Amino acid sequence: MPERTVVIGSRGGLHARPASLLVRAATRQPVPVTIARRGQAPVDARSLLSVLALGAGHGESVVLAAEGEGAEAALAELAALVADDLEGPAGDAVEAGE
Amino acid sequence: MTVPTVLRGIGIGGGAGHGPVARMARPPVPPPPRTVPPVERSTEAAAARTALAEVAAALDRRAAAATGPAADVLSAQALMVTDPALAERAEALALEGADGPRALTGAFGEFRAALDAAGGLFAERVADLDDLRDRAVAALLGLPMPGLPDPGHPHVLVADDLAPADTALLDPAQVIALVTERGGPTSHTAILARGLGVPAVVGCAGADGLAEGRTVLVDAAAGTVEADPAPGAVDAAAARERRRRRAAELTGPGRTAEGHAVKLLVNLGAPQEWEAAAAAESEGVGLFRTEFLFLDRADAPSVAEQTDVYARVFAAFTGRRAVVRTLDAGADKPLPFATAADEQNPALGVRGLRTATRDPGLLDDQLRALAAAARDSAADVWVMAPMVSLPAEAAAFAERVRAHGLSTAGAMVEVPAAALRADALAGACDFLSIGTNDLSQYAFAADRTLASLADLLDPWQPALLDLVHMTATAGARHGRPVGVCGEAAADPALALVLVGLGVTSLSAAPGALPDIRAALAAHTLAECRELADIARTSPDAATARARVGERARF
């Protein structure tokens, strides 16, 4: 099954807005996509509560997986979302630290 | 004909309004659990799914009609309740024999436990899940929806009390007035009502008994809620409200009748208030509460993040004064990284400036960010510390503020000891600002969150006015400005008294300023002093309020 391992780019982890954006994007895909933390059971990426319950923080790796026609394109789109910093609209995004 | 019923409470905001009651419903109470016979299980499962879909549809409808943060909150909640995994679990539990309410509660409960275990920001979503669970169970049982009502027409919102989470969702275009059974003059509901300019009566015993749809007249000036009001009462309240609105058309800086300047400033909190506050006719910010930056997070915000936020506030108040209160953590605003967990009496614990002794880095970071933001702005930035008890603390704070390159440092007067030693305090820094809410709490040993102690916390208490007088007199002797930034400044009659006591600026919710401006313009400083004497020599708060009310012109 095609897979992608991605490091979470959002500062708050897969929470609030970043999690919502991922779930909305996953719902739009032609194939079901799963998301898992390393070494844990995969969950449906269309389920906001399951994605939140991963408790996946900034800088952690997650594995996206999908099968069937359009799987590669779906993974590419979702992997890009997970890797981005999706926190808040532009102007709210501030680099961490000094 | 129905006999009119008049309920009494604490009026907030001075306005009046009437309309049909819409009640905030309580969470549904499900019937005792039952095991569903196998033949009915698929029907029960379908009903659970339908309930979730109904809740989602209602939230989507409201999200579409809302704007800003409210729309975000509502659509995020809709996304949660449409979660396919949630519906599958509820369905599976129903097919195993659980009745509908238990299937829903069980499914929500599993995700609730997982979020709770994930901790941090994830665990904060637990309250959303509980709310959605109550809504789904209510939909299934055909009970009224818990949470803020949405009757689709303007209404008088009647609730037990409002939680901070409700405030983002409250639509001022739909809510004519607020009535709560509980809550005091400084409760969330009261602060929200002032911020939105909605008349409110809080701590209103008997509000529980007001039925859905019944017409009520809410008179915040009188602190009354009249059910089925006579047409004459409605007309009189409407006339008073028109006069009040005319007063609101006065503009310009605060002045007494003969032109003695009293700065009129706004209190400022979370970002959703900024736009309205900056647009309001004011001479700047008298109290910028910075806690919102630090709440709901595991670690303190970085200097860069803080600088960005402060710069946006200062830009909105270019050319005006901006008084920033440094972090006031502790007591009712605990922070995981700044609050000790082992305090028996957090209101008397390590809070406000005291946290800076234990964790100097937190204050230094904040001052560094404020200095960086102030350097690039044309706002007149003043910085003050909360919960100062000793003149030496004020002196040390002022030294630290200046070391960061900020020019104006002040101390808040919230602790009676600070007022008693106001002379030394005024000598130790550049200005004083009296926080009347905490000063009452500490002077009267009365928890400000308890509605049952509202009488003691009444800002008209002559003893509190003595402390204000002492502070203002000391400030004048040292040529230091002395402001009041508590809810006391929002009462126009009391504002006259405060000015008479020697206060040089008043800071309140933006919605309260027009009434204060009008009251000041109608009185000379000498008259304000006379009113202050009357209030201070009254035997109690009620007499002080009544005597000043008779003499003042509105």
pLDDT digits (tens, 9 = 90+) for B488-541: 888 899 999 999 999 999 999 888 898 899 899 889 999 999 999 999 999 999
Whether B308 has its CB under 8 Å from any CB of chain A: the answer is: yes
* A94 contact B CB<8A: yes
B410 three-state secondary structure: strand
pLDDT of residue B342: 75
Rounded CA-CA distance B216/B157 in Å is 10
Q: What domain count does chain A have?
A: 1
User: Is there a contact between A48 and B84 if contact means CB atoms under 8 Å apart?
Assistant: no
Q: Is A52 on the interface with B (CB under 8 A)?
A: yes
B168 touches chain A (CB under 8 A): no
**A56 → chain B, closest CA residue:** B118
B296 has a pLDDT exceeding 90: no
How confident is the model at residue B331, as a pLDDT?
Answer: 61
Q: What is the largest CA-CA distance in chain B?
A: 86
Q: Is residue A88 part of a domain?
A: no
Q: Within a 10 A sphere around the Cβ of B213, how many other Cβ atoms?
A: 11
Q: Which residue has the tokens 């002196």?
A: B395
Residue range A50-75: average pLDDT?
A: 93
Q: Which CATH number do you get for residue A14?
A: 3.30.1340.10
Rounded to the nearest 5 degrees, what angle is found at the Cα of B99, between the Cα atoms of B96 and B104? 90
Predicted pLDDT at A92: 34
Query: Taking 80 as the threshold, does the pLDDT of residue B437 lie above it?
Result: yes
pLDDT > 70: percent of chain B: 94
| Of A16, A55, A95, Cβ closest to residue B118 | A55
pLDDT band with cut points at 50, 70 and 90 for residue B69: low
Helix/strand/coil (H, E, C) string of B334-394?
A: CCCCCCCCCCCCHHHCCCCCHHHHHCHHHHHHHHHHHHHHHHCCCCEEEEEECCCCCHHHH
Determine the average pLDDT of the residues in B237-246: 75
Specify the range with the lowest mean pLDDT, choosing from A11-20, A71-80, B429-438.
A11-20
Structural domain range at position A39: 3-83
Lowest mean pLDDT among B124-138, B187-201, B359-373, B425-439: B187-201
pLDDT of residue B338: 67
Q: Please indicate whether residue A15 is annotated as part of the active site.
A: yes
Q: Does A22 touch chain B (CB under 8 A)?
A: no
Interface TM-score (ipTM) > 0.90: no
Contact partners, residue A5, CB within 8 Å, separation at least 6: A61, A62, A63, A64
- What CATH code is assigned to B38-141? 1.10.274.10
Q: What number is the average pLDDT over the span B42-48?
A: 96
pLDDT band, residue B378 (cuts 50/70/90) = very high
Q: Could you tell me if B107 and B52 are in contact, meaning their C-beta atoms sit under 8 angstroms apart? A: no
Inform me whether the C-beta atom of residue A15 falls under 8 Å from chain B C-beta atoms: yes
Confidence bin at B64 (pLDDT 50/70/90):
confident
Concatenate the DSSP letters of all residues of B284-343 into one string.
EEEEEE-GGGTTT-SSPPPHHHHHHHHHHHHHHTTTSEEEEEP---BTTB--TTTS-S--
Q: Which one from B188, B404, B478, B523 is the annotated catalytic residue? A: B188
Name the CATH superfamily housing domain B255-551. Answer: Phosphoenolpyruvate-binding domains (3.20.20.60)
Q: Beta strands A43-44 and A33-37: pairing type? A: antiparallel
Write down the pLDDT at residue A94: 32
Residue A93 covered by a domain: no
Contact B111 A55 (CB under 8 A): no
CB contact set of B434 (below 8 Å; sequence gap of 6+): B412, B413, B414, B419, B467, B468, B471, B482, B483, B484, B485, B486, B503
* φ and ψ at residue B266, rounded to 5 degrees: -105, 150
Chain B's closest residue to A20, CA to CA, is B76
Nearest to B80 by CA among B144, B133, B145: B133
- The predicted pLDDT at position B248 comes to 65
The yes-or-no verdict on residue B53 having pLDDT over 90 is: yes
Helices (H), chain A: 16-28, 48-53, 71-83
> How would CATH label the architecture of B5-24+148-245?
3-Layer(bba) Sandwich (3.50)
The predicted structure's pLDDT at residue B213? 93
Across the range B199-203, mean pLDDT stands at 91
**Which is more confidently placed, B43 or B237?**
B43
Q: Which residue has the tokens 């009041």?
A: B484
Q: From the CA atom positions of chain B, what is the Rg in Å?
A: 25
Residue B56 has pLDDT above 60, yes or no: yes
Kindly indicate the confidence band of residue A96, based on its pLDDT and cuts at 50, 70 and 90.
very low
Residue A48 has its nearest CB partner, among B80, B302, B303, at: B80
SS (H, E, C) B413-473: ECCHHHHHCHHHHHHHCCEEEECHHHHHHHHCCCCCCCHHHCCCCCCCCHHHHHHHHHHHH
Compare CB distances from B80 to A46, A49, A96 and report the shortest one's residue: A49
User: Of the listed A15, A36, A42, A87, which one is catalytic?
Assistant: A15
**What average pLDDT does chain B have?**
89
B258 against B246, higher pLDDT: B258
Q: Tell me what pLDDT residue A88 has.
A: 52
Confidence of residue A43 (pLDDT cuts 50, 70, 90): very high
Closest CB to B84 among A12, A46, A57 = A46
| Residue A92, domain member (yes or no) | no
Residues 15-74 of B with CB under 8 A from A: 72
A70 occurs within a structural domain: yes
pLDDT at A95: 30
CA-based radius of gyration for chain A: 13
Q: Which residues of A are less than 8 Å from B111 in CB distance?
A: 49-50, 52-53
Average pLDDT over residues B436-448: 93
Residues of chain A found within 8 Å of residue B80, distances taken between Cβ atoms: 48-49
The Cα of B50 is separated from the nearest Cα of chain A by a number of Å equal to 18
Extents of the domains making up chain B: 5-24+148-245, 38-141, 255-551
Strand order in the sheet with A43-44: A3-7, A61-66, A33-37, A43-44
Which of A13, A48, A94 minimises the CB distance to B305? A94
Q: Which of A13, A53, A94 sits opposite B308 (nearest CB)?
A: A94
A17: which 2 tokens?
A: 């807005």
B500-503: Cβ within 8 A, 24+ apart: B500/B525, B500/B527, B500/B528, B500/B529, B500/B530, B500/B531, B500/B532, B500/B533, B501/B465, B501/B468, B501/B469, B501/B472, B501/B532, B501/B536, B502/B469, B502/B472, B502/B473, B502/B475, B502/B476, B503/B262, B503/B434, B503/B468, B503/B472
Q: What pLDDT, on the 0 to 100 scale, is given for residue B163?
A: 66
Is the CB of residue A11 less than 8 Å away from at least one CB of chain B? no
CB B137 within 8 A of CB B30: yes
So what's the pLDDT on residue A35? 96
Q: Whose CA is closest to A38, among A60, A11, A19? A: A60
Binary contact (A43, B122; C-beta < 8 A) = no
The pLDDT of residue B339 is 66
- Cβ–Cβ contact B392 with A under 8 A: no
Say yes or no: A69 contacts chain B, CB-CB below 8 A.
Answer: no
Task: Report percent pLDDT > 90 for chain B.
Answer: 58
pLDDT level of residue B332 (50, 70, 90 thresholds): low
Q: Which residue has the higher pLDDT, B359 or B2?
A: B359
| Calpha distance B20→B214 (Å, rounded) | 5
Whether residue A49 and residue B86 make contact (CB cut-off 8 A), yes or no, is: yes
Q: Does the pLDDT of residue B324 top 80, yes or no?
A: yes
In this predicted structure, what is the pLDDT of residue B1? 44
Chain-chain contact of A16 with B84 (C-beta, under 8 angstroms): no
Among B80-94, B230-244, B412-426, name the one with the lowest average pLDDT. B230-244
The confidence score (pLDDT) of residue A89 equals 45
Q: Which one of B52, B72, B83 makes the best mutation probe of the A interface by having the most chain A beta carbons within 10 Å?
A: B83
Chain A contacts of B305, Cβ < 8 Å?
Answer: 94, 96
